[in-house]
Amino acid sequence: MAGWLSNRALGLLAGALFVGACGRAQAAGAPIVLQVDVSKAPAQNVAFTRETIPVQPGKLVLYYPKWIPGQHQPVGPIANFAGLTIHSGNTILPWRREPRDLFAFDVDVPAGVSSIDVDATYLGATFGQYASSRLATPNILVITWDQNLLYPSTGTIANTIFKPSIVLPGDDWHFATALTGARRAGNVVSFDDVSLEHLIDSPLDAGINYKRWLLWHDGDASAYLNAFADTPAELDASDATVDHYKKLVKEMLATYGVRHWRNYNFLLTLSDAMPGEGIEHHESSDDGTGGDYLTDLASLDRGGDLLSHEFNHSWDGKYRMPAGLYRPNLQIAYDDSLLWVYEGMTQFYGNVMSWRDGIRKADTYPDHVAALYAYYDNQPGRRWRSLGDTATSGPFIYMAPRGYGAERRGEDFYSESELMWLEADSIIRQKTGDKASLDTFARAFFGGGENTGPIVVTYDRADVIAGLNAVVAYDWAGFFHTWVDDIAIHPPDGFTADGWKLVYTGKPSHWVPASNFWYSLGFAANDGMVTDVRQGSPAWNASLGIATTIVAVDGRSYSTDALVAALDEAAKTHAPVALLVRHGDVYRTISLGYYGGPRYPHLERLEKTSDRLSEVVKPRA
Ligand SMILES: [Zn+2]
């Protein structure tokens, strides 16, 4: 987005305004017929596309979707889009990829031709790639339609209409999607005509092992949890677990007051083979996690905000969308600079809801806040990079290497923004005598006052500031200048005014395990392999680097317990800890003159203050 485009009217009307106002290449009224055949996906991880596109003679440009909503990046998996053959009847039409726009294909449509056929193959099973490239396990498949289609350059996402269908692997495969009008004949399922905008916003999950729970309904409106798993046992969720998700819907509706979906479908894959995922859509979400998520309480607690985060986006992200993310087609670059609202406030509510719905126990919230604050307060990269710049950098920062992440900074517009919105909540509570909170703003700004279908209302930064000022007058412009635009050496600490203080103790917390040595020696490691070193820390000063393996501690094999014991001992004796490390084929011993013992962050109550923090996560429904 060049400048802060405010386009409320366009957003409000987009669904109705553009439908039928067809571009030249697509004949008026004739949809693109799209069939995606995933019958071979479980065994071979490929999907076959057949499209019939109405055209007019002359030069035609077909696009493969590049900028993918919810991903915030140009990650359409074009390297996996293969087998492209374009023909008119038996006549093959040659295509050429545009050298300066690799997602565009030029075709000359001969005189007298009114429709062309496009065949293509999507290659899944691309190991090690970003999760959006996933397709299938032997038992589960996920169709994200944007991976399996081309569309004419002349259309918009709103006025390009598709008639989609899918060929499933067999009659015994179940499916779920937000697409409407499903008609099944054997293993072929066809759906109502739908705009490109809503097609790519409506992924389809299918599988052999399937369970569906009704979470909520009111008249014709409903919310369902659909789960697909590699084994039937992974679907054995207890009633208590399902009740948390019933509560989630109630809590969300209590917060926002209204909804902008007709029927909401959580599409949850449970698999240790398929990569995890969490992609928001207006009337569904594409949620993927490990096989034991619904059956192991520790897994549920750890990933307790997965569904609430994506559900929250139906209001914050899909209904209210930054103008710079609402583009006429899928090739135009996003302006990610308001992701501290879209993702940041969703990170706040996704987590808050995981406590309000009861998945997480109330007494673990303060240490969650402590873990966030401590990480950002010990992040060297914040001396050069603002929070706002991490959001603006969204198109490359998601894919950035993980090594030295604390110096580079990462997707901090999620979790650091959570701290910022907690501070905003605290300010609103203080200034209104606890009569209002961030919920008041959320309800007005992301609720909007009346139930609607999946429409988009765009906003800009000035709208957010005006919305907050409507709740309580404050220098919100200055607030965001301080926390978003400026270098902020310390992150926002709204918890202090909420009655808590940060402390470090030798005891791990619910969220910061014993194996985390970031706040003591100053490094992060996976199974001994160092992934990050905090500049200025004892580990940094001893020349420890990433891609180095810690082999031994004080002459014994490396383990978390061994290093914790060595730190305890060093605190008593003031003798340095010796680490034997290997980098490539070179071994060396480094000496760490650190005597502060293990350190883990916690929040403790400030005496004689009221506890606002606990109010934040109290149920509303
Ligand atoms: Zn999100």
Cα 311 to averaged position of ligand 1 atoms, centre (Å)? 9
Cα 71 to averaged position of ligand 1 atoms, centre (Å)? 9
Cα 103 to averaged position of ligand 1 atoms, centre (Å)? 26
Cα 346 to averaged position of ligand 1 atoms, centre (Å)? 6
| Predicted pLDDT at 133 | 59
Cα 242 to averaged position of ligand 1 atoms, centre (Å)? 22
Q: Residues 340, 417: contact at Cβ < 8 Å?
A: yes
Q: How does DSSP classify residue 483?
A: I
| Predicted pLDDT at 125 | 64
Q: List Cβ neighbours of 497 (8 Å cut-off, separation of 6 or more).
A: 426, 427, 430, 612
- Report the distance separating Cα 499 and Cα 614, nearest Å: 9
Cα 89 to averaged position of ligand 1 atoms, centre (Å)? 44
Cα 282 to averaged position of ligand 1 atoms, centre (Å)? 12
Cα 458 to averaged position of ligand 1 atoms, centre (Å)? 17
| Predicted pLDDT at 7 | 30
Cα 341 to averaged position of ligand 1 atoms, centre (Å)? 10
| Predicted pLDDT at 143 | 95
Q: List Cβ neighbours of 561 (8 Å cut-off, separation of 6 or more).
A: 514
Cα 343 to averaged position of ligand 1 atoms, centre (Å)? 5
| Predicted pLDDT at 6 | 29
Q: Residues 370, 357: contact at Cβ < 8 Å?
A: no
This prediction has a pTM of 0.94
Structure-block tokens of residue 400? 């950035």
Helix (H) or strand (E) holding 367, with range, is: helix 365-377
Cα 281 to averaged position of ligand 1 atoms, centre (Å)? 10
Cα 279 to averaged position of ligand 1 atoms, centre (Å)? 7
Q: What is the CA radius of gyration of the chain?
A: 26
Cα 24 to averaged position of ligand 1 atoms, centre (Å)? 36
Cα 198 to averaged position of ligand 1 atoms, centre (Å)? 18
The series of mean pLDDT values per 10 residues for the chain, 621 residues long, is 26 30 48 98 94 98 97 94 97 98 98 97 69 78 96 96 98 98 98 98 98 97 98 98 98 98 98 91 97 98 98 98 98 98 98 98 97 98 98 95 95 98 98 98 97 97 98 98 98 96 98 98 96 97 97 97 98 98 97 98 96 97 93
